Structure 1
Amino acid sequence: MSDRSVGGRIAPVLPHLANYDFGNDDTGSDILGKQIELEAGNDIQYRTCSWPKTAALLFSEYICLAIMSFPYSYSVLGLVPGLILTVVVAGLVLYTSLVVWEFCLRHPEVRDVCDIGQMLFWGKQWAWYATAVMFVLNNTFIQGLHVLTSAKYLNTITNHSECTVVFAVIATIICWVFSLPRTFSALSKLGTGSAFFTFISVLLAAIFAGIEAHPAGYNPDPNFIDPVTGIHGGEPIVTALPVKGVTFVAGMNAFLNISYTFIGQITLPSFIAEMKDPKDFPKALWAVTICEVIVFGCVGGVVYAYTGNQYNTAPAFGSLGNEVFKKVSFSFMIPTLIFLGVLYASVSARFIFFRIFEGSKHKSSHTVVGWSTWAGILALTWIGAFIIAEVIPFFSDLLSLMSSLFDSFFGFIFWGVAYIRMRRIDGGVNWLKEQTLYGYTMLAFNTIIILIGLFFLGAGTYTSVQSIIDSYNAGAVGGVFTCANNGI
């Protein structure tokens, strides 16, 4: 790795990270070399991930259950705008992820997005705390989503043989056990299996949607209206453009659904911090982005084509009319139902654990205190996730709200600011006056990225709140700790 091509630091090493006895003038490669050298004799080594292992983590994060909500988004937005937005959002996330990577090359001592948040906003302690709150809440809500979805799966596969709360407890315990490995290198093996089985799951769902006679809820009479669901009968209606009457709230929710599936930059600094050669990160990033666009677009488009505007559900497994097809395809999703929550739990636990034991033997050795604390932190995050999943009756809408509030920063604003601050260091005092046309174009582009983040923060938050209000008005809000069947 050449620091001349990477660029200089935007700020000195943060005080709480200066545990390797390096000065403020050390380059990124010097710091990385010292980290690897100091870890060489440790029982637990963190800088061990190769780029294929990092790719496995990325695949497990992105190739997930959310793919099965794309048919719904396409039904609201229309197939053509839906596919275009899929490619555009993927491109934006790819670009901002490369900015994250460049920042981490310049500052390899950062351990997570919280350290980056503090560095971006001039080393202010409040920036670290604000980022940390958003970081932990975001991850815990995602864990809660996976507790809820796992209970949904168990209800579906067993035809609601138990109280839903019991299934949620079972899911929480299983996820905690699989969270116990301490390094991402160890988790990458689970991630590989998770991504593979998820791909099989969505592929089967698309095939089953194509070969079955009719989707769930089908009625041949185009004048029929289901008195319970309000779904119109007739053959599935597929439209290239949005149908007349689509509201701003519905359209924004569909767009945000696509965006939230791609936005995952919050975990990238944590992954890069455990790579033995961070300069290889783009290989993993490009591999997963190309696969994302192909899988999301093809599966979403195919399932939408066979379920139309009337019969699609989110997740789309519920659109399958054949019970065997639905249960078989949904069952292959089990690894990702567990592992994606595990991944976010591990990122949160790593964040807390490192701050407790930085510089001590418990961080890098197999000690009773270290392992007990690690298991205890994970248990607390999963208990929090379970409570969130059970107590909040409008969980999915609240998750959208949290995503609007947090992904606006972690998906866009942070990285537009990071680009500008890095270019400012590269160009010196007169960097604005001495920019080329390309430089001004990129400056404008990154300013737009910041504005997109502000749009997510504003419009996304509005539509999420309005969706919660609409759910209450429609009587669609359930109870807390309910035994009611939530299967699809």
Structure 2
Amino acid sequence: MASGMSDVEKNSYTDPTTVPVSDPLDPKYGDETPEYDAVFGEIREGQVNYKSVGWIMATIIMLKTIIALGVLAMPTVLSATGGVPGSLIIIAIGLITTWSGHVVGLFKKNHPEVYSMDGVGYVLAGRFGRELYSVAYPLFMIFLSGSGFVAISIAFNAVTAYGTCTVAWVVVAMVGTFALASIQTLSKVSILGWIGFVSVMSAILIITIAVGIQDRPSAAPQTGPWDKDISAVNHAGTFLGGMGAVSTVVFSYSGTPAFFNVVGEMRNPKNYDRALYCCQSIVTATYLTIGIVVYYFCGQYLANPALGSAGVIIKKVAYAVALPGLFVSVTIYTHVGAKMIFVRLLRGSDHLTSHSFVHWATWLGCVGGCVTLSFILAEAIPFFGDLVNLIGATLGTFMCMVSNGWMWLHDNWHRRHEDKSLYFKALVVLNVFLIVAGAFIMITGTWAAAVSIRNSYATGNISRPFSCADNSNSS
């Protein structure tokens, strides 16, 4: 722990050297005092009760944190690597992030005072760690929200056949997200999560069925012979292309850091793992299904995002159905990013849970600041798409792989002298691998994203800041 802590810090954070390791099989695992929470303090009637999320609601929130924009890129992963390697990458990253999510639950149990990644940083590396994660986590969520704003503008342009300036649609996305993300608790946001989940899954189902029953993809020659050029292994692929595919899958699973917010607001954290396993199973099955089916039927004539692979009419229908889901995803990204800042600012004061002016001004200010930054980044950076890939390769991988391995080792490394079992050694190897593999993906993914940015400049494929141009290929 960092030296020279204030009294507030001493009272708010547990000495990690005295923390017992949680056993999820212990019947007392996840038990809590309903009247008091280590983060939100005493829970009083008439105040904001953040501890109100059940495990089904938690599952839906997790699903919408993960299944968003990334699912539409799964067919391109198989296209870059081939059907077999692409499928194995999806399964492997799914298993890795499931373990990472499990570590989140264990770490929260061991350190109940931790609400979000800033608290994780403090436990791992003192004040420096807290400040590092206090910047990295909201920034990551802000970039995700900005990417979501762009996706919403694409959807509106697709549905309206480029009805107005693209910036106007991004403004609509920003205003709508501010209104929805201002909902105070995740339990209420989870109601939107149901709508978003049904929306995205319906859009996926529409495009999956459409590409299966149509004669040929819309981008393929409409007369004469044509070749999908699908392969079990893409022997013509490059190393950078393969690592770009890995980074895409990691990015698509990188909602794991937000799981701290979820378990922190669950009524009974004992059920966290149940929600986690349900979420990860559905996510992996969905990624595999849309990836394999769309790649098999479209091959080299695959559109990116995948919703455009079945022609103009289906594209409009799919985007119209997906719009609520896109809004909900961006809402959750904004909510959890703003909530971390909000909790840090008001933690330890009555304003955190009371309906005071300070409470509402701080909360709305945090949400408003996040959506404003997301809007500026999405519209002001001409190579924003490549930059999102860069941020995903760095911050996303760092927070959903490297940090989780570090967390487990932090809480368990002291057991190495008394626990000589093969099981413990295997867990040590697994978490060291998580750190090493995460670092490798960070480096290679950053390299691939940087090359993509350079190529975009070289080919002139760079848009202007605040451009009104159609970004949906509808005009």
SS, match of residue 255 in structure 1: helix
Is 1:347 the equivalent of 2:336?
A: yes
Q: CA deviation at 1:22?
A: 9.4
1:35 aligned partner, one-letter code: Y
Change (3 A) 1:101 1:17: farther
CA contact (8 A) 2:113 2:119 kept: no
Aligned residues: 460
Change (3 A) 1:236 1:20: closer
Is 1:288 the equivalent of 2:290?
A: no
Is 1:473 the equivalent of 2:463?
A: no
Aligned to 1:146: 148
Is 1:234 the equivalent of 2:226?
A: yes
Paired with 1:392 and 1:20, the residues of 2 have a C-alpha distance of 39
Change (3 A) 1:352 1:15: farther
CA contact (8 A) 2:219 2:302 kept: no
Q: CA deviation at 1:221?
A: 7.3
Paired with 2:135 and 2:71, the residues of 1 have a C-alpha distance of 28
Q: CA deviation at 1:396?
A: 1.2
Paired with 1:329 and 1:187, the residues of 2 have a C-alpha distance of 24
CA contact (8 A) 2:31 2:268 kept: no
Change (3 A) 1:337 1:316: same
SS, match of residue 481 in structure 1: coil
Is 1:316 the equivalent of 2:306?
A: yes
Is 1:435 the equivalent of 2:420?
A: yes
CA contact (8 A) 2:142 2:374 kept: yes
CA contact (8 A) 1:17 1:109 kept: no
1:483 aligned partner, one-letter code: C
Change (3 A) 1:440 1:182: same
Q: CA deviation at 1:369?
A: 2.9
Q: CA deviation at 1:91?
A: 0.4
Alignment deviations for residues 238-269 of structure 1 (CA, whole Å, 9 cap, x no partner):
1111142x222222112211121112221011
User: Which residue of 237, 253, 261 corresponds with 2:244?
Assistant: 253
Is 1:157 the equivalent of 2:159?
A: yes
Greater mean deviation of Cα atoms: 24-33 or 62-71: 24-33
CA contact (8 A) 1:120 1:414 kept: no
Greater mean deviation of Cα atoms: 375-384 or 361-370: 361-370
CA contact (8 A) 1:17 1:110 kept: no
Is 1:43 the equivalent of 2:47?
A: yes
> Mapping of 1:12-411 within 5 angstroms?
16=8, 32-33=32-33, 35-36=36-37, 38-121=42-125, 124-219=126-221, 234-244=226-236, 246-309=237-300, 311-321=301-311, 323-411=312-400
Aligned to 1:227: none
Change (3 A) 1:64 1:434: closer
1:235 aligned partner, one-letter code: D
SS, match of residue 218 in structure 2: coil
Greater mean deviation of Cα atoms: 365-374 or 186-195: 365-374
Paired with 2:69 and 2:319, the residues of 1 have a C-alpha distance of 9
1:139 aligned partner, one-letter code: M
1:241 aligned partner, one-letter code: V
2:242 aligned partner, one-letter code: G
CA RMSD of aligned residues (A): 2.5
CA contact (8 A) 1:401 1:465 kept: yes
Paired with 1:133 and 1:20, the residues of 2 have a C-alpha distance of 20
Paired with 2:13 and 2:255, the residues of 1 have a C-alpha distance of 32
Paired with 1:397 and 1:59, the residues of 2 have a C-alpha distance of 25
Paired with 1:419 and 1:441, the residues of 2 have a C-alpha distance of 13
Change (3 A) 1:186 1:16: farther
Q: CA deviation at 1:108?
A: 1.2
Paired with 1:243 and 1:145, the residues of 2 have a C-alpha distance of 32
Q: CA deviation at 1:367?
A: 2.1
Question: Any gaps of 5 or more consecutive residues in structure 2?
Answer: 23-28
Identity of aligned residues (%): 25
Change (3 A) 1:14 1:108: farther
Alignment deviations for residues 164-202 of structure 1 (CA, whole Å, 9 cap, x no partner):
111111111111111111111111111111111111110
Paired with 2:421 and 2:242, the residues of 1 have a C-alpha distance of 39
Paired with 1:41 and 1:31, the residues of 2 have a C-alpha distance of 21
1:295 aligned partner, one-letter code: T
1:89 aligned partner, one-letter code: I
SS, match of residue 332 in structure 1: helix
TM-score, length basis structure 1: 0.89
Question: Any gaps of 5 or more consecutive residues in structure 1?
Answer: 1-8, 223-232
Paired with 2:393 and 2:360, the residues of 1 have a C-alpha distance of 35
Paired with 1:290 and 1:22, the residues of 2 have a C-alpha distance of 33
Q: CA deviation at 1:61?
A: 1.2
2:121 aligned partner, one-letter code: G
